[in-house]
Amino acid sequence: MSELQIGLLAIGVLVVIGVFGYNKWQERKYRIETDLNLKSGHDDVLLRETEPAGAGERPPKAAADPVAASGERIEPVMQVRKVPADGAPREPSLNESLDFIVAVESSEDIEGGALIQAASGALRGFAKPVRLEGYNGREARWEPLADRERYAMLRAGLQLSDRRGPVSGEELANFGAAVQEAAQAAGVLAMVPDRADAVRRAQELDRFCREVDILVAIGVMGAQGVQLPGTRIRGLAEAAGFLLDEDGRFRRRDDKGRVVYELANLDAAPFRADSMRSLNFAGISLELDVPRAPGGIRTFEQFRELIRHFAQGLDGQLVDDNRKPLSPAALDQIRGQIEAVHRAMEARGFAAGTPEALRLFS
């Protein structure tokens, strides 16, 4: 072999090493950026307005168009966590725009435990959440009733609406009577407000919810029907900060415990930690519950980058909920819809991801 051939061979080896090293650097850089950005991030999918949902139902997904990709593989250790009862970072106070509030008056301070005990039976069985609060004079704020704390002012509230629909006039009448019964047993007086106005507000709130209650869901499927390996799905999910909950869905939460987005099996069957190593899947669905997700439009932009990363890592393509390819133009259209939803929610005092929004869209 001549010196020229040896020199060319050496140059070729160096080029290959350089390309390999650059790719690894890019991979590491992307993982770091993803981990930082996804604190409150999200991506795009398919939009649809909700129909009246049953208890515990999620809003239906919407539709759009595609993009393709190719990818890489990561395999961290599988983690499973229990699903928390509520992702709210703090217990929100009763709200005139969200609750039917009955004031409870006393001529002298009353112990919170007295009303709690009196109400324990009377206020059970309501379809909407019930809250009891007392006014903390030292801190100048309303708080959930504390058993041994004494209060000069108390109040009880019934939530007017949630994803199951508005409260009815009959329910409001029953609630008012129940609070009066509990107050009488505790030796205090309950002042029940006008029910007709509360019914009107509940129906108006329900209409507003239907207008803005949108779930974005984008799928990733293997090219030409190729199945996606569970180990690769798991690796990409955990590298992006998702944890597998007991219900079989991966969830990414922010530092306050609020769910930002979810990753599910495209075929609806739950993911299981003990079987993902051996199973392949038709696809995955990345979801963004718009009213409940914090972070504003920035969360959607990060969500968009994340779904593209999944498509690359799984050698798949983006699809809508009809499993049709999803175009970049469709993603831009979804972005515009989300911006409109955020503006409408902020105008009503229910910014996405706030404790009040989490109550309303529960």
pLDDT at 54: 39
Q: Is residue 20 part of a domain?
A: no
Q: Copy the structure tokens of residue 78.
A: 């599988």
- What contacts 358, CB < 8 A, 6 or more positions away? 86, 87, 88, 258, 292
pLDDT at 224: 84
Alpha carbons 103 and 108: distance in angstroms, whole number: 15
Query: Which of the listed ranges 21-25, 89-93, 183-187, 239-243 does the model predict with the highest average pLDDT?
Result: 239-243
Of 176, 193, 209, which one is at a domain's C-terminal end?
209
- pLDDT bin (cut points 50, 70, 90) of residue 299 is very high
pLDDT at 107: 86
**Claim to verify: residue 40 and residue 130 sit in the same structural domain:** no
Q: What is the mean pLDDT of the chain?
A: 82
**Claim to verify: residue 205 and residue 217 sit in the same structural domain:** no
Count of positions (residues) in the chain: 362
Of 177, 209, 241, which one is at a domain's C-terminal end?
209
Alpha carbons 87 and 359: distance in angstroms, whole number: 10
- What contacts 167, CB < 8 A, 6 or more positions away? 100, 127, 128, 158, 159, 160, 161, 198, 199, 202
Q: Is residue 22 part of a domain?
A: no
Q: Is residue 179 part of a domain?
A: yes
pLDDT at 152: 87
- pLDDT bin (cut points 50, 70, 90) of residue 91 is low
Least confident of 55-59, 264-268, 347-351: 55-59
**Claim to verify: residue 223 and residue 338 sit in the same structural domain:** yes
pLDDT at 202 over 70: yes
Q: Is residue 14 part of a domain?
A: no
pLDDT at 2: 55
For 288, the domain range is: 35-88+213-360
3 state DSSP class of 106: strand
- Looking up residue 322, the CATH number of its domain turns out to be 3.30.1400.10
Q: Against a cut of 0.95, is the pTM above it?
A: no
Least confident of 42-56, 79-93, 216-230, 270-284: 42-56
Least confident of 58-62, 132-136, 200-204, 330-334: 58-62
pLDDT at 19: 41
Angle at the Cα of 200 from the Cα atoms of 197 and 202, rounded to 5 degrees:
110
**348: phi then psi, degrees, rounded to nearest 5:** -90, 0
Of 172, 189, 209, which one is at a domain's C-terminal end?
209
DSSP 203-255: HHHHHHHHHH-BEEEEEEEEGGGPPEEHHHHHHHHHHTT-EEETTS-EEEE-T
pLDDT at 281: 97
pLDDT at 223: 86
**Claim to verify: residue 226 and residue 78 sit in the same structural domain:** yes
Contacts 24+ apart (CB under 8 A), 51-60: 51/210, 52/164, 52/165, 52/210, 53/163, 53/164, 54/164, 55/164, 57/163, 58/215, 58/289, 59/163, 59/213, 59/214, 59/215, 59/289, 60/215
**Claim to verify: residue 302 and residue 242 sit in the same structural domain:** yes
- pLDDT bin (cut points 50, 70, 90) of residue 86 is low
pLDDT at 51: 38
**Claim to verify: residue 220 and residue 349 sit in the same structural domain:** yes
Least confident of 63-77, 91-105, 165-179, 286-300: 63-77
Q: Is residue 293 part of a domain?
A: yes
**Claim to verify: residue 268 and residue 339 sit in the same structural domain:** yes
For strand 215-222 and strand 316-319, is the pairing parallel, antiparallel, or unpaired?
antiparallel
**Claim to verify: residue 42 and residue 75 sit in the same structural domain:** yes
Q: What would the pLDDT profile of 50-77 be if each residue is shown by its tens digit?
A: 333 333 444 444 433 333 333 333 333 3
**Claim to verify: residue 116 and residue 193 sit in the same structural domain:** yes
Q: Is residue 228 part of a domain?
A: yes
Alpha carbons 45 and 38: distance in angstroms, whole number: 16
pLDDT at 170: 97
3 state DSSP class of 102: strand
pLDDT at 106: 87
Number of structural domains the chain divides into: 2
Q: Is residue 7 part of a domain?
A: no
pLDDT at 47: 38
Q: What would the pLDDT profile of 4-23 be if each residue is shown by its tens digit?
A: 445 444 544 444 445 444 44
Sign of CA dihedral 296, 50, 217, 63: negative
**Claim to verify: residue 187 and residue 235 sit in the same structural domain:** no
Alpha carbons 133 and 145: distance in angstroms, whole number: 5
**Claim to verify: residue 231 and residue 183 sit in the same structural domain:** no
Alpha carbons 160 and 130: distance in angstroms, whole number: 10
Q: Is residue 19 part of a domain?
A: no
**Claim to verify: residue 274 and residue 343 sit in the same structural domain:** yes
